[in-house]
Every structure is written in structure tokens, then in C-alpha cells.
């Protein structure tokens, strides 16, 4: 009788463990800085990541509207430990300390995946290319604000569900001076000023880390479109290794979190 009870108890435990849902994606969302409504963007993006990507999002919002704030977490050793992916939506262009910058990108180079959005591409101009290598593109600025057409130029799971072409509402189209050799362009748009196509969505491999990037996202009315929310949610999942080839979330493919590396 005791043996049967023990077997039954163990069977229940195994069944309960098998039915246990996958661990939520741990996202560190870093935001703040000049020139954008980061408070409003946070209220749109964080709930979208929670519902669309099944994420548990930790928010660090610092710096007000300054362009030279040093986000406090970056000064901590192993600052990304415990997170599956870091979402960079910040705008601090006047941080020109190469050592401080190295402390940021070193965690990603070791393997912490990342998403870089919009003004993140204009951050940390420290006299080195370290940040731009991490992002996958070098962008010197942008032109006037206008609606433009985004055109898909590749096949990739993060693009599932998007039409080949879609309208981006009035926004900033960033100039791209360089696409780094480790980056793969996925979507382009034509710059009125340059009269040339500029990459607006891409993937990058930085050291051991996957990086998903987009320059779209200046205005809230752009961010809240279903096209954009779906794109960055899938991009976040892909960076963390949780996106299947069909563009649907999967727990099976996820890498070990940074804490276990």
C-alpha cells in the first residue's frame, strides 16, 4: 500500500511538472532621454510585450529629457544578469565615455540578446564604433517627418504576418551610412532627402548575442500600429531564441538566460 501511494504521488508530481507553463520571457526595458515621449511609449510597448511575447518586463526609466544621463544599471557588474533580452529604447547621444560604453556592450558581446529601437541608434557617440557595431548600423541623423512605405526585402520569422509593403505613419526616417557586415537588412524605405533606400529593420549578430533592430518608432501613433507592435514583439522573441520559423512564440528554442551563462 505504501509503495502504491508513493508511486501515485510521484506520478502526480511528474504530471504537474509536465503541465507547468514555460517560464515567462524576462525582458529588461531601458528607456529615457531626449526628444521622444518615452513615458507614452512605455505605456504602449510594455503591455504589448507582456501580451504578445508572454514577457515579464522590468522597466528602468531614467534621465528625464536629458541627452547625457548615465543609466544607473550600466555601472553594475554583470548588469544584464537574469534577463533573457534587453530592450534598448533610449536616447543619450552625449555620453562620450568609451569605458562606460564598453561596460554596456560587453554584456551583449558575452551573449545577452538585445532589441535596439529608433533613437538607440543615435546613442553613445563615444568616439568609437563599439555601439554601432552592436546595433548593426551607423546612423548620423534623419530628415524631415513624413509618411513612408516600408518594403520587405527578405524572408524572416520576425516579418510573418506583415505585407510586402505597408505604410508607416508620419515618422522619422533615419539615414543609414553603414550596415555592418554582421547585420542582415530585412526592410527598407526610400528617403526623400537622399533619394535612396535606407534600412529600417534588420538583424545583427554581436559576439554571442542576437540583436534585432529598427529605426521606426518616433511617434506614438506609429508605435501603436498593429504592424509595429507585432514586429517588435516577434523581434524580441527572435533575439531571445523564442520565435519559431512560422513566426509564432516557442519556449522550446529559448537559450539559457544570462544568469546561467
pLDDT, tens digit (0-9, with 9 covering 90-100), for 17-34:
445 666 899 999 999 999
Per-residue pLDDT reduced to its tens digit, 197-232: 999 999 999 999 999 999 999 999 999 999 999 999
Query: Which of the residue ranges 2-6, 166-170, 181-185, 257-261 would you say has the lowest mean pLDDT?
Result: 257-261
146 CB-contact burial (10 Å; exposed 0-12 / middle 13-18 / buried 19+) = middle
pTM given for the model: 0.89
CB 108 within 8 A of CB 88: no
- Identify which of 182, 202, 99 has the alpha carbon closest to the alpha carbon of residue 134: 182
CB 183 within 8 A of CB 136: yes
What pLDDT shows up at residue 173? 98
Whether residue 135 is predicted with pLDDT greater than 80 in this model: the reply is: yes
Residue-range domain boundaries for the chain: 25-256
Round to whole Å and give the CA distance between 107 and 206: 10
Share of the chain above pLDDT 70, in %: 88
CATH architecture, range 25-256: 3-Layer(aba) Sandwich (3.40)
Element (H, E) at 44: helix 38-52
Amino acid at each position: 500500500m505504501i509503495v502504491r501511494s508513493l508511486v501515485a504521488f510521484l506520478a502526480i508530481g511528474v504530471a504537474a511538472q509536465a503541465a507547468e507553463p514555460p517560464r515567462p520571457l524576462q525582458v529588461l526595458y531601458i528607456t529615457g532621454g531626449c526628444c521622444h515621449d518615452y513615458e507614452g511609449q512605455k505605456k504602449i510597448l510594455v503591455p504589448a510585450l507582456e501580451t504578445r511575447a508572454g514577457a515579464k518586463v522590468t522597466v528602468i526609466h531614467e534621465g528625464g529629457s536629458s541627452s547625457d544621463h548615465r543609466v544607473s544599471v550600466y555601472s553594475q557588474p554583470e548588469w544584464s544578469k537574469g534577463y533573457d533580452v534587453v530592450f534598448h529604447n533610449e536616447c543619450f547621444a552625449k555620453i562620450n565615455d568609451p569605458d562606460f560604453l564598453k561596460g554596456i556592450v560587453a554584456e551583449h558581446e558575452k551573449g545577452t540578446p538585445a532589441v535596439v529601437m529608433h533613437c538607440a541608434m543615435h546613442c553613445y557617440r563615444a568616439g568609437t564604433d563599439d555601439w554601432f557595431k552592436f546595433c548593426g548600423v551607423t546612423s548620423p541623423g534623419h530628415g524631415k517627418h513624413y509618411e513612408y512605405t516600408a518594403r520587405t526585402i527578405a524572408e524572416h520569422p520576425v516579418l510573418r504576418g506583415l505585407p510586402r509593403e505597408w505604410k508607416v505613419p508620419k515618422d522619422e526616417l533615419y539615414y543609414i551610412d553603414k550596415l555592418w557586415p554582421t547585420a542582415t537588412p530585412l526592410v527598407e524605405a526610400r528617403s526623400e532627402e537622399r533619394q535612396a533606400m535606407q534600412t529600417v529593420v534588420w538583424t545583427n549578430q554581436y559576439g554571442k548575442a542576437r540583436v534585432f533592430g529598427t529605426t521606426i518608432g518616433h511617434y506614438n501613433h506609429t508605435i501603436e500600429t498593429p504592424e509595429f507592435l507585432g514586429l517588435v514583439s516577434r523581434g524580441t522573441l527572435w533575439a531571445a531564441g523564442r520565435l519559431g520559423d512560422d513566426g509564432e512564440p516557442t519556449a522550446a528554442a529559448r537559450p539559457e538566460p544570462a544568469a546561467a551563462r
